[in-house]
Amino acid sequence: MQDAGLFEGRHVELLDGELFEVTKNPPHNAAVAALADALRAILPRGAFSVREEKSIEPWADWWPEPDIAVVRGIAADYFERHPGPADVVLLVEVCDTSEQDRTSKLAGYAAAGFPVYWILDLRLRQLEVYRDPGPSGRAPGTGWAKEVIPEEGLVALLIAGQVVGRLAVAELLPRAEDGAS
């Protein structure tokens, strides 16, 4: 359908057999860019790449394009294929209204075996961190350890159990309506 031009000028995502139109407003785009820049600044150069709004390895009725994926290696490692669960160390979705991030995507990423999933919630002004989805035999969405980090908090970027750096959640969020960060 995409190749036939049915979605010309629209951004859609296939999740669990359903098509969802994805709206990317200025606060969303700014938050994705801020987070990508912050991650690039703390990741070891050449060991990891930050991919913004790029496909990851599809499965079943899924063709996800997370807002950010931190993957092992450099961009050239993915000229021939999409990164999959063994390559991805972090997936991030930025949201202000989408419940798919906490339902369909959360369950799908857990079932596929991705190790860490963050939801940067612009409306609630917080970062939700989900870790360790457990063995693929578990029911989708179970086994995640959830941590909610408020706007004034810091999040540790853990890769293979090692802290690579820390990010201030406030620096990832657009300015609040009252002018505060």
Count structural domains, the chain.
1
C-alpha span between 153 and 167 (Å, rounded): 9
Element (H, E) at 117: strand 116-121
Per-residue pLDDT at 58: 81
Confirm whether 75 is domain-assigned. yes
State the CATH number of the domain containing residue 152. 3.90.1570.10
Confirm whether 167 is domain-assigned. yes
Confirm whether 9 is domain-assigned. no
Percent of residues, the chain, with pLDDT higher than 90: 51
According to DSSP, the residues that pair with 108 across neighbouring strands are none
Confirm whether 13 is domain-assigned. no
Confirm whether 129 is domain-assigned. yes
**pLDDT by residue (tens digit) across 86-137?**
999 999 999 887 676 777 788 888 888 888 999 999 999 999 998 875 555 4
Q: Phi and psi dihedrals of 154, rounded to 5?
A: -115, 145
Q: How far is CA 77 from CA 74, 81, 87, 128, in A?
A: 6, 8, 10, 29
Of residues 58, 38, 48, 31, the one with CA closest to residue 126: 31
Domain with 43 in it: 24-172
Confirm whether 11 is domain-assigned. no
Going by the DSSP 8-state scheme, the letter that residue 170 receives in this structure is G
Confirm whether 78 is domain-assigned. yes
Percent of residues, the chain, with pLDDT higher than 70: 76
Confirm whether 7 is domain-assigned. no
